[in-house]
Amino acid sequence: MRILFALFFVCCLLSGRAQWATGRVLEEKNVRSAILHRDVRYTIYLPADYQSSERSYPVVYLLHGYSDDNTGWLQFGEINRLADKAIAEGTIPPMIIVMPNGDSSFYINSYDGKEKYEDFFVKEFMPEIEKTYRIKADKRFRGVAGLSMGGYGTLIYTLKHPELFAAGAALSAAVWDDSTIVSMPDKRWDGILGQLYGLGLKGKDRLSTAYNENSPMKIVAGKSSDELKKVRYWIDCGDDDGLSKGNCLLHILLQEKGVPHEFRVRDGTHTWTYWRTGIIDALGFIGQSFHQQ
């Protein structure tokens, strides 16, 4: 009897695994950029039925954090395994997930014009991806998400290009208020943010035109409620994360403007454990935008 029960249990396990069809991952693909004068790597996840169907799919651009690359969400975030399971269970719709290499660009154009990553992403990368793969190239079926630097990029793209995205999900987004920027140690400023907004700046001089034009909070403050409602927002940051202040202030600002959005503060800090346990809820939120009314 014990042997029969053990065999039955193993069969159940195998049957359960068989339900989770495996998507295809292309890890090291490239897009040639005339704007950046180089090849830009990307990783892409194709849902399990992509090879056997002829239909087009919605897409989510998934942005990595500072010091990572296009393989971060695959290697540390295990996004392929999580997406396979979520699609099989109906938690998220079948979708294509594209992970570009953003280096340390914060996904924007730098103040000195030496790195025009935002121009590349909007004018070259997205059009090339959506021409190469069977993607529904329409705002209604396009989302963007990311962690830390990628969360910042998510907010920048949805706020500056609302005509392109139905929804954005920012996890542990790199968002700062003015006081934090002004008091930031010089070494940290010049090592990370100076390349974006202006090297060697100190104190209030850091609140430059480049900074103001690329500050999520400044952009939100300068837009009307109706403008902001063109995109659905998901904001998620750990209660012990050093970036929680900026995320909370952004939430309050959106709330004061009457902009519907989802705001989550979970137990955790700036770690892959936090992002792995939050990404499917974020993709589920984006996936709701792909459903027809």
**Residue 204 shares a structural domain with residue 122:** no
Please count the structural domains in the chain: 2
**Residue 133 shares a structural domain with residue 270:** yes
**Residue 203 shares a structural domain with residue 219:** no
Q: Domain of 140?
A: 22-176+215-290
**Residue 112 shares a structural domain with residue 61:** yes
Q: Which helix (H) or strand (E) holds 290?
A: helix 279-290
Taking the CA atoms of 61, 66, 68 and 69 in sequence, report the sign of the dihedral they define: positive
**Residue 84 shares a structural domain with residue 196:** no
Residue-wise pLDDT tens digits, 199-215 = 999 999 999 999 999 99
Separation in Å, CA 6 to CA 11, 17, 135: 9, 17, 44
* Number of neighbouring beta carbons within 10 Å of residue 1: 5
Residue-wise pLDDT tens digits, 63-104 = 999 999 999 999 999 999 999 999 999 999 999 999 999 999
Residue 4 included in any domain:
no
Nearest to 45 by CA among 19, 22, 14, 65: 22
User: What is the rounded CA–CA span in Å between residue 45 and residue 135?
Assistant: 12
Residue-wise pLDDT tens digits, 133-152 = 999 999 999 999 999 999 99
Stated pTM of the model: 0.93
Averaged pLDDT of the chain = 94
Residue 265 included in any domain:
yes
Question: Would you say 167 and 157 are in contact if contact means Cβ atoms under 8 Å apart?
Answer: no
**Residue 79 shares a structural domain with residue 199:** no
CATH code of 148's domain = 3.40.50.1820
